[in-house]
Amino acid sequence: MEYKKVLGIDFGGSGIKGAPVDTKTGKLLEERHRIPTPDPSSPENVAKTVKELVKHFKWKGPIGIGFPAIVQQGVVRSAANIDKSWINTDARKLFSEATKLPVWVTNDADAAGLAEVKLGAGAGFKGAIVVLTIGTGIGSSLFIKGKLYPNTEFGHLEFKGMDAEMYTSDATRKRENLDWETWGKRLNEYLNFVEFLTSPELIILGGGASKKLDLFKDQLNLKAKVVPAEFLNEAGIIGAAMASKVNIKK
């Protein structure tokens, strides 16, 4: 039996956001609450922040957390954009002990992708799908016939001699003050590279930049259909809750 209501939490570079989620519909059951990501974003500090979110919602049920790293069975295996002390930390155990509640931890982009593929822009699509969240970095998830291949981390592919996200992220667009046309051409190069590697039939663009698709879509030239995410910045919260309901049983 699966849980219908789960507290979804999305751990981002600038904020840790959460809300109770109806896992059947993807609807947020209360207004999303955001707490700035602690600096340093060490395991101890983030666990305290997660505990604050639980207290804010007076939550007593299961929790799903989207985490910005490779996560295998709850254990963190990378730390590209977070404190290095996370590597090999059992995040699921840490958060469960901090909150005294059942917790499931999944890669944040996999969580966002799950929401989009099951309930959002990819719902009902049977072919191969790549979901990319474009923001501070680039998160990715890959689905084949609705099944997730976890921890793809396409934002860290080597591209033009650097991590792809250093060339193509929305943060790079802002940092280098690129206009949408120039940035769109960069994005198109990167998307063609991802398409070459994975041959998806659908690419879903999420993250902050996806809201501006009309400003750069004319620069995109791909075989795959490209569409914006439907859940936008709520996808990570919704997908984390959905992953938890499947993996934590009553």
Q: Is residue 102 part of a domain?
A: yes
Coil/strand/helix, residue 165: helix
Average pLDDT over residues 149-170: 96
132 and 102 share one domain? no
Is the domain of 191 the same as that of 239? no
Number of domains in the chain: 2
Residue 116 in domain: no
Domain membership flag for residue 33: yes
Domain range holding 53?
Answer: 5-109+234-247
How far apart (Å, rounded) are the C-alpha atoms in residues 197 and 181?
25
Asked whether residue 11 is assigned to any structural domain, the reply reads yes
| 8 neighbors 22 (Cβ within 8 angstroms) | no
Q: Are residues 43 and 99 both part of a single domain? A: yes
- Give me the pLDDT at residue 164, please: 97
The answer to whether residue 250 scores a pLDDT higher than 60 is no
User: Does 218 lie in the same domain as 126?
Assistant: yes
88 and 130 belong to one structural domain: no
User: pLDDT digits over 127-154, tens only?
Assistant: 999 999 998 889 999 999 999 999 999 9
pLDDT tens digits for range 54-96: 999 999 999 999 999 999 999 999 988 788 999 999 999 999 9
Give yes or no for a contact between 81 and 13, defined as CB atoms under 8 angstroms apart: yes
pLDDT in tens, 5-32: 999 999 988 899 999 999 999 999 999 9
Angle ∠(120,80,163) on CA atoms, nearest 5: 85
For residue 216, the domain's CATH number is 3.30.420.40
- Dig out the tokens for 98 from the structure: 């901090």
First to last CA, the chain: 6
Asked whether residue 115 is assigned to any structural domain, the reply reads no
